Amino acid sequence: MRANRIAAALGAAAFAFTGLSAPLAAADAVVPSQVVVGAVLPLTGEEARIGGYFKLAYELVVKELNDQGGVELRAYHRKIPIKLIIYDDKTDPATSRNLYERLAVQDNVDAMLGGYSTDLVQAQTVVPNQHGIPYVNGGGAATAIYQRGYKTVFGLLSSIQNLAFSECDFIEAMQAQGKLPMPLKMAIVYENTSHGKDFVDGLTQRAKAKPKNFQIVLNEAFDLHGKDFGPLLQKVKATNANAFMSDAHLDDYITMQRQYRQLGLHHAYVTYGARGPEKAAHDALGDGVDYIVAAAWWNKAIPNAAVTAFDDKWAKAYPKSPAEWFAALPYETARTLFIAMTEAGSIDKAKVVDALRHIDIRDTIIPGGHIRFEKDGQMVAPFVVTENLPGGKVVIVWPKSESTGSAVLPFPGP
């Protein structure tokens, strides 16, 4: 695919536009003065920390391209500079949708980059679908986002069901080594969103398929951004579970894990889904995050030269904000959109959507190194499973091909 030839090495500049084919449009085509791209992010409210990372990632890609003259568009025989418009939705779905409408109707954007958090992305994606605007996000993983038949919406996050499957694969490997009991009796608590329901669905599918390995003893939902999980955790405590399986966003993970420890709970296996190794959690909980297992869409410990180069680049650009998955995924999200524009050769929305539908980018920094979208617009990609070790160390424990250390299981303690 041509995308592989136009995406530059990650350790160098953002893109290399060489060997492009002949212009797609007549020489007298009207040349736009700029390519206008918009995004709406949670820069304040509960998701502000991660929304801030998305903003930095989008700005970094745009700066890299604009430093080279902009994005190469063959229809106009030149590179066109990029204008990036970012609004704050204050972590409110209705506001997020309204601001995307503003981008579409008032700002007349050529394309959209997505926000972060399932409830926000689910609300905002209605707009690009209605207006036929290409939209790429790296912050919404729930399958419900992509099951509505939308034709212009694309996402780089593999589903939460696949996250659950990845953790189950790892657990089965640990059971085979005698490090975890069989069956693993799971107390499952999950955020009451399509994100959380996908997590439960994945675990339920595996428990039904392999009852000798997995048994569900509790299945309870909770509301996002909670303050007191005591009653929920008391239900967990009353079970005979040997695994605590939670699907939670970062703020709920921190609050729940603090209260989990205050109640003296202990299980052989503890996970908060995609949450675990975040610096914010370690800063808030100290050694309270030790031995927690997570499955994520990226980790800087992946033994890959492109990942190392990106981490170095990010550290140079933003020394006070170390790279985590919510830096890497929006960075690749923006790269993917602009590669699609170059593939399309213009800012014609239908052509960019078609380029996204057929895109095939290799040697990226995400696990598996490959970006392409399924028919519903969502990616299917592997996860990396990590475990927090004492002293702030994080090791990748699954899959074996990405492993940087051995798992310490069962969870040490009483």
pLDDT score, position 413: 81
Per-residue pLDDT, averaged over 252-262, amounts to: 98
CATH 3.30.460.80 matches 160-296+384-402: no
pLDDT score, position 16: 36
pLDDT band at 30 (very low <50, low <70, confident <90, very high): confident
pLDDT score, position 4: 52
Per-residue pLDDT, averaged over 36-40, amounts to: 98
pLDDT score, position 363: 87
pLDDT band at 19 (very low <50, low <70, confident <90, very high): very low
Whether the predicted pLDDT of 9 surpasses 50 = no
Instruction: Answer whether 2-158+303-357 and 160-296+384-402 agree in fold.
Output: yes
pLDDT in tens, 331-348: 999 999 999 999 999 999
Per-residue pLDDT, averaged over 129-152, amounts to: 97
Per-residue pLDDT, averaged over 65-82, amounts to: 96
- 310 Cβ contact list (under 8 Å, min separation 6): 10, 11, 323, 328, 331, 365
Inter-residue contact 83 to 34 (CB < 8 Å) = yes
d(CA 21, CA 379): 28
- 297 Cβ contact list (under 8 Å, min separation 6): 141, 156, 157, 158, 274, 325, 328, 329, 366, 367, 381, 383
Closest to 143 measured CA to CA, from 101, 201, 191, 69: 201
pLDDT in tens, 396-407: 999 999 999 999
Per-residue pLDDT, averaged over 142-158, amounts to: 97
Which pair of structure tokens corresponds to residue 4? 């592989």
More reliable by pLDDT, 131 or 3: 131
Domain layout of the chain by residue ranges: 2-158+303-357, 160-296+384-402
Torsions phi, psi for 352 (to 5 deg): -65, -40
- 12 Cβ contact list (under 8 Å, min separation 6): none
Q: What is the separation, in whole angstroms, between the first and last Cα of the chain?
A: 55
Torsions phi, psi for 72 (to 5 deg): -75, 125
pLDDT score, position 20: 38
Amino acid at 345: G
Q: Which CATH number fits domain 2-158+303-357: 3.40.640.10, 3.30.70.580, 3.40.50.2300, 1.20.140.10?
A: 3.40.50.2300
In percent, how much of the chain has pLDDT > 90? 92
More reliable by pLDDT, 282 or 25: 282
pLDDT in tens, 112-129: 999 999 999 999 999 999
d(CA 248, CA 258): 13
d(CA 15, CA 292): 37
- 398 Cβ contact list (under 8 Å, min separation 6): 166, 169, 170, 173, 384, 385, 407
pLDDT score, position 29: 63
Which pair of structure tokens corresponds to residue 105? 């109707």
pTM: 0.91
